């Protein structure tokens, strides 16, 4: 909300363009994403090598029994990092939400279902107008909640196959083969999801680096988070643009 | 263009290369011609003359000498035994093996012990059976002999000398032959599912010693290499639908083992580090080696009553819940493993729908973006 709108018109007349930026993520959230990004990547790469350790390409990487142990240890360390991050994320979210210090913008609402319906209509050329999204559009909420539950499954099943004897003693032996199947399948599902869904939305559709910089420029706000832009500035996004991209 | 002066080195290199290739390939292609594969009949049709002649003395049951070691050496050869062996009726007579005895009176015996005599005469087997003889040189028994154990078996210890018989008639003969030395193993084997079927029914499908251990080039079964090859060894029969269907046994055991945690670990080691010992379970770790029994048999190590104790050999802290983690070489099944079945069915549809939803939605977005851009440029 670092609006610098007062002197915009005078500056524009002198050929200087100012871009308004909107705060989007706190420093803590950016660090959390970085931690998630690194641990997810490490876990995926070291996991895939183990999942396919019967294949030749994987065995070229696992060139010695020591290397296999090393890869397993790296996987376990990254898993601990991710688990701590998940616990921190949940604790912080619960604390802030309970104290009403954080907006529950990430929770799915009925509006998201309507947005999704209208977005599909727009993509199928049935409607001309793109729906106006709030701070997090339904695509981003899908990304968050898909990975939220996916990582939850990965953490639980991962702990089960890391400590199978204890898990069986505690609950039942039947969860061990099921956890092994779920861990190895969910990993691929999550990997494919991130590669197709998330990478398209943050790299191809537009290069969205706001999770690293913490801020989003006015053009992207107008285009992708119109409802949020209107809520923050009180300006309408329907008016013709003043020389932005669209 | 290459100037003639520069061409010379290439010509020299070319000639060297051609000569090298010829030199390397020539012995390889020439080898089979000279190799002693023609181990067939060497002798002419039966004459039965020397045999008759020798038996005039050696047919006397009392004929014997005392060796310098003090051992008594009987020189009596039973005519009946000779007649019923494989060699004599085929015309292979005394002098074929006793090559050093050509005259009477015979040259003086220089052997100190009976064993020395045996170890000397068995070399004669090589004349007609060079391939099998060479194989034994790679086996554990030859290695034991090389290490100084002169009691390690030679051809005649297993096949006999004057009474050589077809080795596998009946098949149980093989296991009984091995039992001459390996009595302890035989005693365990004869009560196993394989041994019992062999001895009681002369079952043609169950393994005798040599089916698993090899015949002449018997390998040490205690090595890491033998261990990682065990699943394949068992699969030779247990993945064969023709053989298994007779007994109502599943042939999935091998393929499912290979996808299991144990099986994948073992196959990785087999492919990359076959000589490095790995503890992940192979067939014999759970089912036993010579004492393999039917799962229903209460004495079986994999009988439900004994399964936990078998698992605990490696999984020390395993409790009573642990055996339910074992899917027992069975396909995923709603009755046997309901939880695993649900998870499997869930991911079967979930994984594919996630993939398709991602692909379709992103494809729609890409198409829309392209159409938008084209429209803008045409405007």
Q: Does a structural domain hold residue B22?
A: no
Numbered residues of chain B with Cβ closer than 8 Å to any chain A Cβ: 258, 261, 264, 267-269, 271-273, 276, 278, 315, 317-319, 321-327, 337-340, 342-344, 347, 350-351, 354-355, 358-359, 361-362, 364-369, 371
pLDDT in tens, A110-124: 999 999 999 999 999
* The CA-based dihedral angle spanning residues A221, A227, A231, A233, taken in that order and rounded to the nearest 10 degrees: 40
Considering the domain architecture, whether residues B100 and B139 belong to the same structural domain is answered as yes
Q: What are phi and psi of A79, to 5 degrees?
A: -65, -40
Are the C-beta atoms of residues A91 and A97 closer than 8 Å to each other? no
Strand (E) or helix (H) holding A21: strand A21-23
Considering the domain architecture, whether residues B104 and B191 belong to the same structural domain is answered as no
Which of B179, B203, B218 is the endpoint of a domain?
Answer: B218
Distance CA B117, CA A200 (A): 84
Asked whether the predicted pLDDT for residue A84 surpasses 70, the reply is yes
Considering the domain architecture, whether residues B309 and B347 belong to the same structural domain is answered as no
| Structure tokens, B282 | 């192979």
Considering the domain architecture, whether residues B150 and B208 belong to the same structural domain is answered as no
A196 vs B264, B359, B369: nearest CB = B359
Distance CA A5, CA A11 (A): 10
| Residue A141: closest CA among A166, A116, A122 | A116
Considering the domain architecture, whether residues B59 and B143 belong to the same structural domain is answered as yes
Considering the domain architecture, whether residues B207 and B229 belong to the same structural domain is answered as no
Asked whether the predicted pLDDT for residue A138 surpasses 60, the reply is yes
Considering the domain architecture, whether residues B128 and B67 belong to the same structural domain is answered as yes
Q: Does a structural domain hold residue B14?
A: no
Considering the domain architecture, whether residues B114 and B133 belong to the same structural domain is answered as yes
Q: What angle do CA B17, B23, B29 make, to 5 degrees?
A: 125
CA distance B354 to chain A (A): 7
B327 vs A124, A166, A177: nearest CB = A177
Considering the domain architecture, whether residues B264 and B210 belong to the same structural domain is answered as no
Considering the domain architecture, whether residues B235 and B305 belong to the same structural domain is answered as yes
Provide the pairing of β-strand A215-217 with A21-23: antiparallel
What pLDDT, on a 0 to 100 scale, did the predictor assign at position B23? 54
Taking CB atoms and an 8 Å cutoff, what residues of chain A touch B267? 54
Q: Does a structural domain hold residue B288?
A: yes
**Residue A62 touches partner B, C-beta closer than 8 Å:** yes
Considering the domain architecture, whether residues B145 and B209 belong to the same structural domain is answered as no
What domain count does chain B have?
Answer: 4
Are the C-beta atoms of residues B244 and B252 closer than 8 Å to each other? no
Checking phi first, is residue B329 left (phi over 0); if not, alpha (psi -120 to 50) or beta? left
What pLDDT, on a 0 to 100 scale, did the predictor assign at position A40? 95
Other beta carbons within 10 angstroms of residue B268's beta carbon come to: 22
Distance CA B245, CA B238 (A): 10
Tens of pLDDT, residue by residue, chain B (379 residues)? 445 556 666 666 666 666 665 555 544 433 333 333 444 444 444 455 778 888 888 988 898 888 888 888 899 998 888 888 999 888 888 888 888 888 778 888 888 899 988 988 888 899 899 999 999 999 999 999 999 998 999 999 999 889 898 888 889 999 999 999 999 999 999 999 999 999 999 899 999 999 999 999 999 999 999 999 999 999 999 999 999 999 999 999 999 999 888 999 899 899 889 999 999 999 999 999 999 999 999 999 999 999 999 999 999 999 898 988 888 888 888 988 899 999 999 999 999 999 999 999 999 999 999 998 999 998 7
Which of B113, B139, B158 is the endpoint of a domain?
Answer: B158
Q: Does a structural domain hold residue B16?
A: no
Q: Does a structural domain hold residue B315?
A: yes
Give the helix ranges, DSSP H, for A19-137.
27-51, 56-61, 65-98, 110-123
Q: Does a structural domain hold residue B40?
A: no
Considering the domain architecture, whether residues B206 and B124 belong to the same structural domain is answered as no
Predicted complex ipTM: 0.83
**Residue A52 touches partner B, C-beta closer than 8 Å:** no
Q: What is the pTM of this model?
A: 0.77
Dihedral of alpha carbons B277, B282, B286, B287, sign: negative
Dihedral of alpha carbons B267, B268, B273, B277, sign: negative
Residue position matching structure tokens 């729609």: B364
For residue A133, give the 3-state DSSP assignment.
coil
Identify the burial level of A133 via C-beta atoms within 10 angstroms of its C-beta, where 0-12 means exposed, 13-18 middle and 19 or more buried: buried
Q: Does a structural domain hold residue B38?
A: no
Q: Does a structural domain hold residue B11?
A: no
* The CA-based dihedral angle spanning residues B198, B200, B203, B205, taken in that order and rounded to the nearest 10 degrees: -40
CA distance B202 to chain A (A): 40
Structural domain boundaries, residue B140? 48-158
**Residue A156 touches partner B, C-beta closer than 8 Å:** no
């Amino acid at each position: 909300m670092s609006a610098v709108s007062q002197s915009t018109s005078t500056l524009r007349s002198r050929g200087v363009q100012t871009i308004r930026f909107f705060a989007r993520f706190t420093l803590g959230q950016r660090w959390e994403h970085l931690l998630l990004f690194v641990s997810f990547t490490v876990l995926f790469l070291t996991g895939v090598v183990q999942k396919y350790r019967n294949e030749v390409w994987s065995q070229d990487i696992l060139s010695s029994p020591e290397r296999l142990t090393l890869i397993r240890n790296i996987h376990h360390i990254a898993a601990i990092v991710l688990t701590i991050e998940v616990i921190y994320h949940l604790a912080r979210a619960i604390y802030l939400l309970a104290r009403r210090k954080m907006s529950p913008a990430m929770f799915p609402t009925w509006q998201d279902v309507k947005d999704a319906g209208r977005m599909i209509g727009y993509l199928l050329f049935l409607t001309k107008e793109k729906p106006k999204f709030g701070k997090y559009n339904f695509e981003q909420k899908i990304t968050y909640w898909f990975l939220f539950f996916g990582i939850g499954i990965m953490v639980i099943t991962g702990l089960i196959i890391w400590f199978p004897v204890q898990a069986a003693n505690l609950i039942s032996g039947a969860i061990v083969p099921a956890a092994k199947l779920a861990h190895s399948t969910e990993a691929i599902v999550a990997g494919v999801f991130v590669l197709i869904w998330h990478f398209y939305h943050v790299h191809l559709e537009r290069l969205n680096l706001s999770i690293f910089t913490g801020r989003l420029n006015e053009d992207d706000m107008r285009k992708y988070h119109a409802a949020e832009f209107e809520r923050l500035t009180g300006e309408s996004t329907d008016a013709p643009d003043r020389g932005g991209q669209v | 263009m290459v100037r003639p002066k520069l061409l010379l080195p290439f010509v020299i290199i070319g000639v060297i290369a051609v000569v090298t290739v010829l030199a390397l390939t020539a012995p390889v292609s020439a080898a089979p011609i000279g190799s002693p594969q023609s181990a067939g009949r060497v002798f002419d049709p039966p004459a039965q003359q020397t045999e008759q002649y020798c038996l005039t003395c050696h047919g006397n049951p009392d004929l014997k000498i005392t060796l310098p070691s003090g051992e008594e050496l009987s020189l009596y050869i039973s005519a009946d035994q000779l007649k019923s062996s494989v060699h004599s009726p085929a015309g292979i007579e005394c002098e074929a093996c006793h090559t050093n005895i050509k005259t009477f009176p015979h040259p003086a015996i220089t052997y100190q012990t009976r064993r020395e005599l045996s170890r000397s005469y068995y070399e004669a087997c090589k004349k007609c059976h060079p391939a099998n003889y060479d194989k034994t040189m790679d086996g554990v028994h030859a290695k034991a002999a090389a290490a100084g154990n002169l009691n390690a078996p030679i051809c005649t210890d297993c096949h006999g000398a004057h009474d050589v018989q077809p080795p596998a008639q009946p098949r149980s003969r093989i296991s009984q032959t091995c039992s001459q030395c390996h009595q302890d193993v035989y005693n365990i084997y004869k009560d196993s599912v394989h041994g019992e079927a062999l001895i009681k029914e002369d079952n043609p499908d169950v393994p005798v010693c040599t089916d698993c251990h090899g015949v002449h080039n018997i390998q040490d079964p205690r090595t890491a290499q033998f261990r990682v090859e065990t699943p394949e060894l068992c699969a030779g029969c247990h993945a064969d639908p023709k053989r298994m269907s007779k007994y109502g046994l599943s042939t999935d055991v091998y393929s499912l083992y290979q996808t299991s945690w144990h099986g994948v670990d073992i196959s990785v080691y087999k492919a990359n580090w076959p000589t490095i010992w790995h503890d992940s379970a192979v067939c014999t770790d759970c089912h036993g080696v010579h004492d393999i029994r039917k799962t229903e048999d209460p004495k079986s190590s994999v009988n439900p009553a004994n399964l936990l104790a078998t698992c605990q050999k490696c999984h020390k802290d395993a409790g009573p819940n642990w055996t339910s983690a074992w899917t027992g070489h069975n396909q995923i099944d709603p009755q046997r493993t309901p939880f695993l079945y649900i998870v499997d069915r869930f991911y079967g549809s979930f994984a594919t729908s996630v993939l398709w939803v991602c692909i379709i939605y992103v494809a729609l977005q890409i198409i829309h973006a392209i159409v938008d851009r084209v429209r803008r440029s045409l405007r």
